[in-house]
Amino acid sequence: MKKINSLQLTSMVIMVIISATFGKGFYTLVKSSGVDAWIGVIISAVIGFLLIFLFLYIFNYEPDLSLPEKNKKLFGKTFGTIINYLIAIIIFITSVSLFYDLIGFISSQFLSETPILFIGLMFVFVIIYINVKGIEVISRTAFILLIISLISFLIGGIGLLNNFELLNIKPFLEFGIQPPIKGSIYILMLNIMPTILFLIVPKNTLVDNKKTNTYLTFGYIISMILIFLTVILIIGNLGIDLTKIYLYPEYIALKRINIFNFLDRIENIIVIQWIFCLIINISLSVYFMTNTIKKNNNKLIVYIITLLILLASNVVFKNTTLYNAYVYNIAIYFKYALLFIIILISIKIKIDRMKKSKEN
Amino acid sequence: MMKNKILVLFVIFLFTGCYNYREINSLSITTAIGIDKKDDNYLLTIQVVNTQKVGSDTNSTGEQSKFITYETKGETIQEALRKIVLESPRRLYINHLQLIVIGEDLAKEGISQIFDFFMRNPEARKQSQIVVAKESKAEDVLKILTPLETISSKNIVDSISSDSKYLGVSENNTFEYQVKTYLNDRQDIVMSTVKVVGSVDKGENTESLKDVSSDAKVVLQGLAVFKKDKLVGYLTEDESMSANLVNKKVKDTLVNIECDKNKYITIELMKPKVDISPIQDKLQMKIEVNGNGNIKEIDCDYDLNDIKVIQEIEKKTEEKIKQNINSVLNKTINEYKTDIFGFADTIYKSNPKYYKTIKDEWYSKNLENLQIDTKVDFTLKGKGNIITVIPDEEN
């Protein structure tokens, strides 16, 4: 059944990629690359094409099937199921950290006296609702929220240009190319790797599936441009010393927005784009996990997974120090595991195709 | 369906901000905080808007003041700030903080804890101004009533803003900028200063506003120079203007040049452009100032239609600006041993490899040995509404 179109799918991909830039993504990037973080973004954008092509390669294989079904077909029921659950666990862990980032931000900046469980519940209701309604609603929501996000990004970008100082991003490559490369690996793993989520949508369920590859490639380029602009504008505004000490430098930078001396103090409106991106990312993750466990969006599983994410984010990370240490030192290894699985799947597809062509 | 309705009701009551709401009339809107140190404790003077009076038609003269000050004490700033509840029923709200005043004694001891407190506090807006109370206590500065602005802290903030636009003695920098400079170990801080002139006791009484000339005033002074987080000295007004000029903070300023004995020409220097560039792999720096200006006042009998006279004024202006810059460079580098112009940072950003070789001995040796070549290029553009000089009849 044709459900969504390529533009809606691309909207989801863009939001998934940029959602990790705020909070943990920015922290790891700046910690590893310092003032050369923007160079790290450029490097990751170039290398990231390889990942995107891998994803598209898997996406184009058996267009009637979603990723869990493809795995079962490729590796057999038992091994395929193990792979599927491994992917789902990694996605679950990622969702927990994203959710912690989301409620941590709101709790520290706006609702300091509200129990974080209540803050989390606000988003849980939204995520459950759109998941129960299915991928059509998630993708339509993503498309609408992306438009709002892009407008707020544009306003934020223009507002920050005023205080941008080129000196703040100097000197270039003081410690060589290694720090930006390290930063680029974090972007590849934390930002680009979660793109795997879109593979839950079988290609043939897209209305205009012939254009999908082009849309997704352009979507990826747009996402990387947005990440690049975010990084360069924040460091160019705050300078590296301030960027390093703030818990949420991207939010603090938005406080400097001043457009023609009459539009200021709009950071709380602009920052909503990040909240939107996180909601879409977590929603799509829940959809992925639900459909890995049982096909056709089982309501009960949606409830259980979403509530588990909420509870785990409250229990696992006791404080931001622990969370930051996890993101910088541990999270990346889960993504390496995901990368390994993706490469494994691609190789298997290649072998299968070669076998088929030989048979023919 | 019924379940959904109950859920919606539940959500409405729990998640619409009702949980930790704060009514505006239960908040003390803080406009300024003065910080002094007394007996190893922080003494905080908190200026809060008197919401009963602000917005009313009556002027503050002879009436209750439009702001209230509270004084609290604590071992840490946060403790002192919280202790305000012992005096005031309302919770302090510092999101609209406009000014932080640091007492001179505390500034000499070090201000890093102030930086830490306000940066850590998510509610505190980092765009507020921070000033040093020169030869005064912060508490005195915040108690003085001002005739033009109902809230005295706003008076100081607006004065700094005007000064930075039209004169250039003060530095219109935010609190966050100062922290940024402090965190950058290749540059030292300069901060605007204010001084209480007159009797503080009279100045805090609303009756004093009835007089044409106030009994006490808060006046902007030259810049305060810091080494790391400690106040080491002050600059004069002329030195402050030159310091701001080199730091690219001057939009418009005045230069007085002596044209005869005790006779002066006042030149308005407009939107000067300053370029600071290091010489590659050498302990040398080049400061180039380019600017245009107008004659605003002249006390000498010059023929302003003679091109040679104009050229002479230009030359004298250039010499004066150069002399002022060299004077402030000499004072900050040789006397205070500070790098308020961020020469180390300029070298670092253009040539980090060379900076590595000089950074260890920067303050002990290299800063003093830094050769600074100052070049000023000034062009006189206008003479005002008249093209000649109105002659002095006595001469």
What's the pLDDT band for A23 if we cut at 50, 70, 90? confident
Burial class (CB within 10 angstroms; exposed 0-12, middle 13-18, buried 19+) of B97:
buried
Say what the ipTM of the complex is: 0.86
CA dihedral A284, A289, A292, A294 (to 10 degrees): -100
| Position A299 pLDDT exceeds 80 | yes
Q: Tally A–B CB contacts below 8 A.
A: 45
Contacts of A255 in chain B (CB under 8 A): 125-127
Interface mutation vs chain A, best among B115, B173, B180, B181, most A CBs within 10 Å: B180
Confidence class for position B14, pLDDT limits 50, 70, 90:
low
Contacts of A264 (CB under 8 A, 6+ apart): A159, A257, A258
Q: Is 90 exceeded by the pLDDT of residue A268?
A: no
Dihedral, B33, B37, B40, B44 alpha carbons, nearest 10: -20
Q: What is the CA radius of gyration of chain A?
A: 20
Tokens of B91: 């919770």
Q: What is the share, in percent, of chain A residues with pLDDT greater than 90?
A: 79
Q: How far apart are the first and last CA of chain A?
A: 30
- DSSP-H helix ranges across B167-236: 175-183, 200-203
CB contact (8 A) between residue B122 and residue A112? yes
Please tell me the CATH code under which domain B238-395 is placed: 3.30.300.210
Contacts of residue A238 in chain B, CB cutoff 8 Å?
Answer: 180
pLDDT for the residue numbered A360: 76
pLDDT at B151: 81
Nearest to A242 among B183, B348, B352 (CB): B183
Cross-chain Cβ contact A113/B19 below 8 Å: yes
Q: Please write the tens of the pLDDT for every residue from A50-69.
A: 999 999 999 999 999 999 99
Q: Among A65-74, A325-334, B16-25, B333-342, whose mean pLDDT is lowest? A: B16-25
Calculate how close chain B gets to A109, using CA atoms only, in Å: 6
Any domain includes A1: no
Each domain of chain B, given as residue ranges in start order, spans 22-234, 238-395
What local confidence, expressed as pLDDT, does residue B58 receive?
Answer: 47
pLDDT per residue as tens digits for the range A143-161: 999 999 999 999 999 999 9
Question: Is pLDDT at B395 greater than 70 in this prediction?
Answer: no
How close does chain B come to A55, measured CA to CA in Å? 39
Whole-Å CA distances, B324 to A313, B58, B255, B271, B331? 60, 47, 10, 17, 11
Hey, CA dihedral for A255, A259, A265, A267, is it positive or negative? Answer: negative
Question: What pLDDT was estimated at residue B204?
Answer: 65
B273: left (phi over 0), alpha (psi -120 to 50) or beta: beta
Match 């439009």 to its residue by tokens.
B66
Rounded Cα distance, A33 and A179, in Å: 4
Q: What pLDDT was estimated at residue B276?
A: 96
Top pLDDT among B260 and A51 is at: A51
Inside any domain, residue A325 = yes
Distance from C-alpha of B13 to C-alpha of B4, rounded to nearest angstrom: 14
The reply to whether residue A122 touches residue B15, judged by beta carbons under 8 angstroms, is yes
Are A121 and B19 within 8 A, CB to CB? Answer: no
CB distance A108–B122 less than 8 Å? yes
Closest partner CB to B349 (pick from A113, A171, A242): A171
Please tell me which of the candidates A171, A238, A239 has its beta carbon nearest to residue B352: A171
Which one of A105, A109, A170 makes the best mutation probe of the B interface by having the most chain B beta carbons within 10 Å?
A170
Burial B207-241 (b: 16+ CB within 10 A, else e): ebbeeeebbbbbebbbbbbbbebebbebbbebbbb
Pick from B20, B349, B352: which is nearest to A113 by CB? B20
**Do B183 and A245 lie within an 8 Å CB cutoff?**
yes
Q: Which of A200-209, A290-299, B71-80, B200-209 has the lowest mean pLDDT?
A: B200-209
Kindly indicate the confidence band of residue B59, based on its pLDDT and cuts at 50, 70 and 90.
Answer: very low
- Residue A209: inside a domain, yes or no? yes
Residue B254 one-letter amino acid: L
Asked whether the beta carbons of residue B180 and residue A112 sit closer than 8 angstroms, the reply is no
Does the distance separating the beta carbons of A125 and B11 come in below 8 Å? yes
For residue B73, what is the enclosing H or E element?
strand B67-74
Q: Domains in chain A: how many in total?
A: 1
Residue range of the domain that includes A139: 6-359
CATH of residue A238: 1.20.1740.10
Q: Tell me the mean pLDDT in the region B122-130.
A: 90
